[in-house]
Structures are given as structure tokens and as C-alpha cells.
Structure 1
């Protein structure tokens, strides 16, 4: 296997260290293999690969991007069973990719990345892990993404609660929800998927909503076996279908900036509310008072109908605290429950705050991001040579497939890694002026965009109200900018082979 281990068995040396084995880390590993680079190690904190699609196993967990787009362009899956694949099917797809491209042998499981320090004299990153094992690499690639640290709200008295408590990303499948009284905190992307599933089992479901999301019908249906056979026989047919979907999704971005189209989308969503919810009070409660697109637009055809059930209560008075067997709302009402399930999402804008990454001259990543996280093209950070982020700052999407962005970033990173792994280049460090210019450009586009000016507060924004998450443009424009790294953007030192 392409790695070098020292005598004490506690130190590994390699060319590239990749952190994470979800779509980003796995994709990077596969592309390295395809490029003929075998000297790399993937660090995975869990006992299996898959990232988000390994961890999130809550009932109804599925993708909200069409299956044909939610896959690697180089490894199309002709056998997707639905237009929007569920968690198990996506997880199986990633497992097959790992097997086909022979990357399992490079993955070190049960290794939790805790930090890294750059050794400028040796042009290497010294990566530390929770168990004390050290990994030394010429380059470090972060593929951890942003949706991996569950966000828990601070509820007064929750420590006194005697029932069951868990987050949707850490679903307790051993706890039987049948005939239980359940409180669901949050009405975001995860909740609108699992609420319809558990509402059929529980005795009572109290759904605590702070801010209603914009929800549109989900155009989901089984993909006929006849079409799966056609895709297998004629791969080009699937590529054509994928391309058509790509441009259809890309067109959604226009509505984000075109207020006339945005109003049309709002009217369509309000019609969905009117047609599916019976109670006018509930209809009013779930109708957002902010511009569509300000928060993530959600897709569901069964969430609103679930609110018609006699055993489901929508609560909008806010959670004031928790007692031994109940949740108390702001109006003083007490809601007896046996379990609390958080559907409160993840830490996003502060997802890297806990990592001890130290670059040149002892500069900490937290210090570099003191005023908010930023990176050139969302990939490289000045003062941190040979460190590359996949799904870094301002590369998230609200309209198309993030896998497309991941592949664009992987191509860019690979153009940097090739000369590093051949010892032609010692280090590549993006110029501060280049990084500053890029971030000034995108922030100027984001300032008046719907995410910032749409009248809501979302996880797209950091504590200062600045959007550090979304890419403010078409994805094809990002692809054009990331086809290959421009040497003029970087301070580059020669490697040993020069």
C-alpha cells in the first residue's frame, strides 16, 4: 500500500493526507488514483466511509437534488430507483465507488483529525489525531464539508428531562417511537423529511417551529426499470438526461436575483400551502414572511399534509424551557412528551473553529478567520501552503448539485497536487492580495442578494451577518474559474527535483 510507516507504528508519512471519506474526500482519492498518484492516506473518524450519507439515517432521509445530478460525472449510476434517491441508495453508491476505484486500502478508519501544523523547513504538514498517531504529508486536503457537526439549541432545563433526547443526525433506532408523545424541535430540511414518517407511529407529535421554511412540491417518482435498462445500454442517453437536469437546476438561480421570478415562485409555494393544509390558522403559521431563497428552499409533498393529522400539533410560541417530562413554551403552556428530537441542523459557518490548524510563522487558522472564514475560490487560504479545502467557504449551493462543485474543486486541487507529488514544487501559497480581491468580489455580490437582504436569518450567515456559505453565481462560472490553478495567483517554491 502506498504509505510509509515508521518503526514506532505511530507515525505515517505520505504525499497527500485527505480528511474525510464522504463525496469530497472519496472523490479526491479516486481522482488521485486516476492520475496515477497512489501515495495518499484518507483519514476517517468513523468505522465506515460515506460522510453525511453514513451518519444521517433518520426515517425519510433523502437527497433534495435529482439522483442523476447527485453523483460523480465519471461514475454515473444507471440504476437509481427514484428521481430523488434515499439515504441507503446514496450510501451504497459511495461504497461501490470505493470498491471500483480501489481506494479502500488507503482509508484509515477510526482516526479523528484534531489538527495540523505546517513545517516550512520540510514543506510538510504534520497532522495530529485523537489517538496520538501522527500523519506527515506534503499536502493536506480537507474533505470534511460543513454538515457534520450537529447543532443543539440551548434549552433551559433540558438536562433534567427524563425521556429520550437525540438529534436527527444521530438517530436512536433502538428507541421505539410507537405510541409515544414526541417533541420535534425545528422545521428545517431534516425535519420535513422525518416528521411525515414518524407522525404515523407516535401517539402525539408536538412540532415546534421558530421560522417557517419555503416549501415546494417534490417532483419525486420511481424511475421505471425500462429507463434504467436504457441508461445501462446507452450511457450517452443518461448523460443527455443529466445535462438537461443540470441546466434546469441552473435556471433556478435566476429566481434568486430576479425578484419578479421570485414572487412567482412564492405564489406557487403559497398555492401549495392552500391546496394541502385545511386549517387556515396553520396555513398562516407556515407561510413565511421573508423572500423566497433567503433560507434554503425545501422540497416536500407530504410535510404539509402531515400537519392535517389529528395527532400533530404545530407550536409557534417558542420553547421557553424543558421540565422532567414536558416542554414549556413562551406562552406558559406545558406539553407533556416522552422524547425530544432535534431537527436543528448543523454548525456551518463555525464548522472549522474547533480544529487546530497552524500555518506559516505559527499562524492559526482561527486567527486568519477572526473576522469570518474566507478562502480563494473556497479552496486555498493565504499563509497555509499546500492546504486545500473541498466545500470550503462560499462554495455551497441553494440551486444545484454540490457534487458538481466538489468535482470542480477536485480538478483544481489536482492541478496543484501533481507537481507537488512529483517534487517539482515545494509549496504553493495563495497570495493574500489575490484572496482579498476574490472575497471582495463575491461579498459585493452577496451584500444585496436575497440571502442577506431577504428579511431572514439563516445558517448561510455567520455571527456578523455575513454570508460565508453560498456561491453567488452560476455553477458553470465556478467551473470555468477552477479548471486549473493559475501559477500567478500563488507564491511557489521549487521542489527537490528542480
Structure 2
């Protein structure tokens, strides 16, 4: 029987959306379109342009398995280099004509076996399947602080960095202490006249040297492509059997090593008062692990100040803290992170029988294996609920989830199946297993992090990479309703 040439929509032209389009076209699907809300590809690597931006996964692991790059400049790549890599991949595979920019999907409704999509450019017609590849780090969170709009100088979220702003000799305040604030601090402290880091919650920092990759090493990679792939496999094995297993409680020895490294780095802070203010009151890795090669060195410099007092309000000239002090600053940087639980919102999604996704997710964002959602036939997600966002390399996660989704899409292509969605009982069993296993993970050890939703559920993957890979290898078709 001849295969159906499905019409498929991909939402998002970040790293996972680009990979999905390439892979679908390789499999002979020619009617595939990416709808991208911005005017350029790249997702988080497009939106974030702040000083010091880099990936916290080694470069030779943070890449597509099918697109090795022998020319990474550092052990962990700077953001602009990753964006350039994505642009080169798009050009190489000739997929740019299939990306529609400035086309945010505002509504998706399932009718008569197809999805009707509307974007900011108007109705787009019917699609046989939708693949959501929007990522989770794209809805900036702004702090609820009185007077924020009153600040007289430049003020912006880190994902909306003011291009061209000159920080030299200026007094800069940073609100937030996550990975972004850590990277910016190390990058600008020698440039500004004064840096005030407003720290509500201190973080554990893992020292991660990030030296340049020597030219002779790059030359060896260029001359021997198999060496690049060997490095990729070695990093993947080390990362997945080490860090990824430690965070879910499956590698206590490795966890102890990471904990000791974080505490050892903290001990390098000479001033005992500053060291005390930088010491977290929760276990290592409970929040997303932060890695740096210069943060503690940066905050010990004479022009740097760590402010632990609560912020009372923002005033035209600066930040006033609860002790009554006005911290005078010229530029205010909001390193306050993202709402990682919004997923496709504010898009309106109407599934089977007119039921909205907001209704389905009224109590919690729940799906099946992070890929499918009950009541949404032919709707597939990369990075959906309980995906391993903080466990593994994101691109490794995305490729595994795409391969799983593609096997379900192949059922639609066969012509024997028109609609496919997970059975409610399978979804319930999966989410019950998640909740039962989550207490074994470090995320459930007692801290507030962006993994935790409004109802106190830890929204991540509580098992090892080996289990994830096995679950993604082949769908259990008995867990699906097929029409």
C-alpha cells in the first residue's frame, strides 16, 4: 500500500524543530512546514545574547548526532557559536524555504481528523499531524517588585538584552542568581565600575574549566571524523552514567564527587562572611546545577557586592533593600529566568470533542513519556511534560523523542491509521510511576526550583538515561488508541 504524504506542521524553529524538519524530509515527507514566532531561527540561542552566554554541556556532546563539528572553539561553546552552527545546518540541508518566520501559532483545533492552524499571519489550513518543538526556556519571568517600571536607566530581562549597550564604567545591578546571572557576573565584573548581585537564594556552583580547544586538536578532528564521533560517544557515556544518574539517585558515588567539588569550590571564597552568604541551605543539585570557571573569583573582586537583603522596591536611581539602603545603579539586569511550565501557552489548543488543553492540564501538565497527550490525536511534543529537561544534553533528548514520535507518525503514513493518541489508563499509569519515583531524586530533597510547578509537582524525568533511551526506542502500541 502506498504511503500517505502527510501534511505536517512543526511549531518552533529552535534546535529541536530544525532537527525534526531535516529528519522528516530525509524520510520522504515533503509537505512539512515550521512555524516560527520570531524573525530568525535559533530558539534560546537566538533570544539570549547576554555577555558570557555559553552552554553548560560540552560542545562535542551538544550537537546533532548526524552533524559533527570539528571546529568548536571551547570545551563548552559560547552561545553565538551554537547559533551559527544551527544556521549552517539549516543551510547545508536546504530547509530554509520550509520555515515561516513571524508566524506564531495562536490557535490549533482538531476537527474531522485534522488540525486546523491559525498563526499571526492568518489561517494556515489543515494538517494531518502537529509536532510541537517550542522548548521550555522562552517565556521570561519578570520579578514582582514594586516600582520596577520607575527605574530611570536601562532595564531589561536577560533574554531581551539591550543590543549595543555599553557597560564600561557603569554601575550594574543584577537581580537573580541562576546560571544566567552567574555567567554575566563573570563576564562583566572587570568592565563595570560596580556590580551589585541581588541574591535571594545562593546556588551551588560546580567548577567547570572552559579552556579554548587548541588548533592542533581541531586539526585532528578535521582529519579524522571518526575521532569526533568517538568524543561524542565518550561524553554521552560519561554524562549519562555520571551526572544524569547522580541526579536521580542512581549513582551515589558520583553524587558524592559532585557534592565535594561544589563544596570545595565554595571553600575558595576567602572572606568567611561572604562565604556564608554564598552558602545554600539545600542539597547540591536540588536546583539546576550551575557550572562556572570564574564566579567565585568574580564576586570577590573589590568592585563586586553580593546583596542578600530582600528588595523592598525599585526607585529611579536604584534598588532599595529591606534594610533601608538605596543601591545606586545605572543599569538594571533582570536574570529572573523563565516560566518552564507554560509549554505552548498562550496558544489556544482545542482537542477531541472540543476540549481545550487548558482543561486537560487544569491540575497539572501531564502527558505520556513527554511526547503525547490524551485527547490530542496526532499531536506530538518534544520536551513535553516530564521530559528530561535537566538531566541530559537537550539535543540528545530531542533526537530520542523525535524518533519515538516518528514511529507513531509512520503509523499515520501507512494509511491504516488516521488518528492516534495515548490511552487515558496508560497516561495515568505513567504519571503515577513518575510520582512514585520522584522522591528518590535530588529535586525532591527540599528546595524551590523551576522544576517544581504551582502544585508542587516536580516536572522532570526521575529515571536514568538508559531507561529513557529504552522507552524511546519503540512505542508500546497497546498504550495507544488508534482509529
* Short-chain TM bin: over 0.9
- In the other structure, the counterpart of 2:401 is 409
Q: Distance in 2 between matches of 1:233 and 1:381?
A: 45
Given the alignment of the two structures, is residue 467 of structure 1 paired with residue 458 of structure 2, yes or no?
Answer: yes
Aligned-pair distance for 1:423? 3.5
Given the alignment of the two structures, is residue 272 of structure 1 paired with residue 265 of structure 2, yes or no?
Answer: yes
Given the alignment of the two structures, is residue 221 of structure 1 paired with residue 221 of structure 2, yes or no?
Answer: no
Q: Is the 8 A contact 1:270 1:287 kept in 2?
A: no
Given the alignment of the two structures, is residue 149 of structure 1 paired with residue 144 of structure 2, yes or no?
Answer: no
Aligned-pair distance for 1:51? 0.7
Aligned-pair distance for 1:259? 5.4
Question: C-alpha offsets along residues 373-422 of structure 1, whole Å, 9 cap, x if unaligned?
Answer: 01101000010000011011111343431211100011011112223245
Q: Distance in 2 between matches of 1:241 and 1:197?
A: 28
Distance 1:381 1:329, change over 3 A: same
Q: Distance in 1 between matches of 2:217 and 2:255?
A: 34
Q: Is the 8 A contact 1:405 1:475 kept in 2?
A: no
Given the alignment of the two structures, is residue 67 of structure 1 paired with residue 59 of structure 2, yes or no?
Answer: yes
- In the other structure, the counterpart of 2:107 is 115
Aligned-pair distance for 1:482? 1.1
Distance 1:14 1:420, change over 3 A: closer
Given the alignment of the two structures, is residue 391 of structure 1 paired with residue 383 of structure 2, yes or no?
Answer: yes
- In the other structure, the counterpart of 2:441 is 449
- In the other structure, the counterpart of 1:10 is none
Aligned-pair distance for 1:189? 0.8
Structure-1-length-normalised TM-score: 0.92
**Which secondary structure state, in structure 1, belongs to the residue aligned with residue 211 of structure 2?**
coil
CA RMSD of aligned residues (A): 1.6
Q: Is the 8 A contact 2:196 2:306 kept in 1?
A: yes
Q: Is the 8 A contact 2:343 2:384 kept in 1?
A: no
Aligned-pair distance for 1:260? 6.1
Q: Is the 8 A contact 1:14 1:136 kept in 2?
A: no
- In the other structure, the counterpart of 1:246 is 236
Q: Distance in 2 between matches of 1:30 and 1:48?
A: 17
2:328 to 327, 333, 336: 336
- In the other structure, the counterpart of 2:89 is 97
Q: Once superposed, which parts of structure 1, at least 4 consecutive aligned residues long, lie more than 6 Å away? A: none
**Which secondary structure state, in structure 2, belongs to the residue aligned with residue 424 of structure 1?**
coil
Aligned-pair distance for 1:464? 1.3
What is the aligned residue count?
Answer: 476
Structure-2-length-normalised TM-score: 0.95
Q: Distance in 2 between matches of 1:355 and 1:129?
A: 9
Given the alignment of the two structures, is residue 354 of structure 1 paired with residue 373 of structure 2, yes or no?
Answer: no
Given the alignment of the two structures, is residue 302 of structure 1 paired with residue 329 of structure 2, yes or no?
Answer: no
Aligned-pair distance for 1:336? 1.1
**Which secondary structure state, in structure 1, belongs to the residue aligned with residue 156 of structure 2?**
strand
- In the other structure, the counterpart of 1:434 is 426
**Which secondary structure state, in structure 2, belongs to the residue aligned with residue 190 of structure 1?**
helix
- In the other structure, the counterpart of 1:190 is 180
Q: Is the 8 A contact 2:134 2:343 kept in 1?
A: no
